[in-house]
């Protein structure tokens, strides 16, 4: 399905029945990274798996800004008349989710972010250097996005009122101290560092991620607080 939102065409797939959940993928991917997760979530929720601008089947653009991608998502939620959806964002999708929760505090019932950073310096040096080299040879606007954005201040995170679950792998490309600082600056957020998981390993498999997301989403659906979980698991 396609919706014209914020001046571009956004492709999304809708499956299941129940309260709405929006899924946002990472840089260079599309909604299909969530195929396994979507199958399980659609047993309990209506899932909207979206291709971000310049990804998948959505419109191409000349430059990329997380702020535009956030407004795309807000426009999609309004355009589809979704009432207080929950949102799960992986990597770039998590960044977009954080910006959305800051800009539109009443839009979401719950937010889960995984492998997200608030500034490029949150990426481990070895991966950041690799990204710089790739950009040098390709001039890819997607790599430029990761090298120069986002810039989300602690003051912005402090204003988030949406219930938030922060996830990352113990072998993530995002520094663990950065992930912990992100969670610490969001009032009432829950942090889980997933042992022996990389940036995307648990996302691709889906089943483990479903087991983590489902209880949180059920709590958000009923306006409750998520269960407190250990920092590592």
List pLDDT tens digits, range 127-143. Answer: 999 999 999 999 999 99
N-to-C CA span, the chain: 37
Query: Residue 223: what pLDDT?
Result: 73
Mean per-residue pLDDT, 206-233: 75
What lies within 8 Å, CB to CB, of 35 at 6+ separation is 206
Q: Among 226, 217, 224, 228, which residue's Cα sits nearest to residue 86?
A: 217
Residue 227 above 90 pLDDT? no
Q: Quick check: 230 pLDDT over 60? A: no
- pLDDT band for 225, please (50, 70, 90 cuts): low
Confidence of residue 220 (pLDDT cuts 50, 70, 90): confident
Percent of the chain topping pLDDT 70? 96
pLDDT (tens digit, 9 = 90+) per residue, 5-60?
999 999 999 999 999 999 999 999 999 999 999 999 999 999 999 999 999 999 99
Are 95 and 148 in contact, with CB atoms under 8 Å apart? no
């Amino acid at each position: 399905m396609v919706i014209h939102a914020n001046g571009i065409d956004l492709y999304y797939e809708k499956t299941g029945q129940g309260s709405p959940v929006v899924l946002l993928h990472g840089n260079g991917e599309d909604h299909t990274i969530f195929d396994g997760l979507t199958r399980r979530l659609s047993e309990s929720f209506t899932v909207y798996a979206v291709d971000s601008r310049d990804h998948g089947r959505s419109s191409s653009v000349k430059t990329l800004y997380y702020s535009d991608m956030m407004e795309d998502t807000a426009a999609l939620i309004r355009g589809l008349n979704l009432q207080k959806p929950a949102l799960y964002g992986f990597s770039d999708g998590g960044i977009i989710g954080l910006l959305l929760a800051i800009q539109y505090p009443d839009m979401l019932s719950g937010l889960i972010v995984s492998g997200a950073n608030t500034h490029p310096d949150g990426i481990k040096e070895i991966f950041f250097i690799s990204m710089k080299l790739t950009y040098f040879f390709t001039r890819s606007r997607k790599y430029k996005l990761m090298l120069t954005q986002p810039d989300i201040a602690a003051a912005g995170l402090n204003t988030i009122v949406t219930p938030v679950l922060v996830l990352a792998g113990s072998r993530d490309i995002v520094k663990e101290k950065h992930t912990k600082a992100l969670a610490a600056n969001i009032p009432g957020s829950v942090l889980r560092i997933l042992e022996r998981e990389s940036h995307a390993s648990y996302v691709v498999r889906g089943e483990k991620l479903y087991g983590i997301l489902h209880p949180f989403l059920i709590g958000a659906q009923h306006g409750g607080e998520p269960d407190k979980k250990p920092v590592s698991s």
